[in-house]
Amino acid sequence: MGKKDNAKEEIFNKMGLLLGKLTEEQYRTTTAMVSLRQCKKGETIYSCGEMPQYMYCLLEGKVKVYKYGIGNRCQIVRVMKPVEYFGYRAYFSNGCFVTTAETLEPSLLAMIPLTAIKHLILTNASLGWFFVQQLCDELGRSDQRTVNLTQKHIRGRLAETLLVLKDRYGLEADGYTLSIYLSREDLANLSNMTTSNAIRTLSLFAADGIIAVDGRKIKIINEEQLMQISKLG
């Protein structure tokens, strides 16, 4: 087996959560249709209003999914990590994208035509159940985030965002620094607040010794206190 074949096999292993639901014949047919897309930081994967063509699997990197609301205000609705699937909900509802997906850092995506995914679901109950679970999990998280972002005060919202980022991306080797570097604007858009409020609240957290800030690097110094702020809202 050559280097190219080994690389493909490694990618398919990463996608095992989905590919593992397929029969041998379905596996061979589906993997033959998988294409790769290398993206730069800040590259748009799909845009609001476009018709969906592919389901994406994030193999490497980080992706934000966002939409604009009243007054053209941006709201990040979720952030993706490896290995997660996205870009299929609009196709399942026979509509166009209502969000935009953009890379937060250089990323590698695997793409499968959605027409092929539809055929597989109609012939494979296990795969259909996989997508039911995926959509239900996503809906549950979205419902909880909606409540939290509308009912919590600014401190509680930002505290929750920092904890969500820790849970999704983890910490660097020092055990404190978040393994994702977001701009203040992105932090604000993820926390349903203005950029100025995000900057001010970060400064207050740092002054209280809860976090330490160095540019876009954020260290969580007192996670217990951060959790308490998030809980109290």
Question: Looking at the structure, do residues 123 and 176 belong to the same domain, yes or no?
Answer: no
Q: Which two tokens stand for residue 156?
A: 């509680």
Three-state secondary structure call for residue 109: strand
At residue 18's C-alpha, the angle toward residues 85 and 80, to 5°, is 20
Residue 56: CATH number of its domain? 2.60.120.10
Question: Looking at the structure, do residues 37 and 9 belong to the same domain, yes or no?
Answer: yes
Sequence-distant (6+) residues with CB within 8 A of 160 are 148, 152, 191, 230
Strand ranges across the sheet with 100-103: 44-46, 100-103, 63-68, 74-80
Q: Of 112, 138, 164, at which residue does a domain stop?
A: 138
Residue 126, domain member (yes or no)? yes
- For the cut 90, the answer to whether the pLDDT of residue 196 exceeds it is yes
- For the cut 90, the answer to whether the pLDDT of residue 80 exceeds it is yes
Residue 101, domain member (yes or no)? yes
Residues 96, 207: Cα–Cα separation, whole Å = 45
Confidence tier at 1 by pLDDT (50, 70, 90): very low
Q: What pLDDT does residue 5 have?
A: 54
pLDDT per position as a tens digit, 121-169? 999 999 999 999 999 999 998 888 888 888 899 999 999 999 999 999 9
Residue 143, domain member (yes or no)? no
pLDDT per position as a tens digit, 159-188? 999 999 999 999 999 999 999 999 999 999
Question: Looking at the structure, do residues 65 and 107 belong to the same domain, yes or no?
Answer: yes
Q: Of 82, 109, 138, at which residue does a domain stop?
A: 138
The residue range of the domain holding 18 is 3-138
Question: Looking at the structure, do residues 42 and 128 belong to the same domain, yes or no?
Answer: yes
Provide the Cα torsion 221, 192, 140, 91; round to 10°. -130
Q: What pLDDT does residue 6 have?
A: 61
Residue 144, domain member (yes or no)? no
Q: Of 138, 172, 198, at which residue does a domain stop?
A: 138
Question: Looking at the structure, do residues 204 and 124 belong to the same domain, yes or no?
Answer: no
Give how many domains the chain has, as a whole number. Answer: 2
Residue 145, domain member (yes or no)? no
pLDDT per position as a tens digit, 97-113? 999 999 999 999 999 99
Confidence tier at 2 by pLDDT (50, 70, 90): very low
Question: Looking at the structure, do residues 219 and 177 belong to the same domain, yes or no?
Answer: yes
Predicted TM-score of the model (pTM) = 0.88
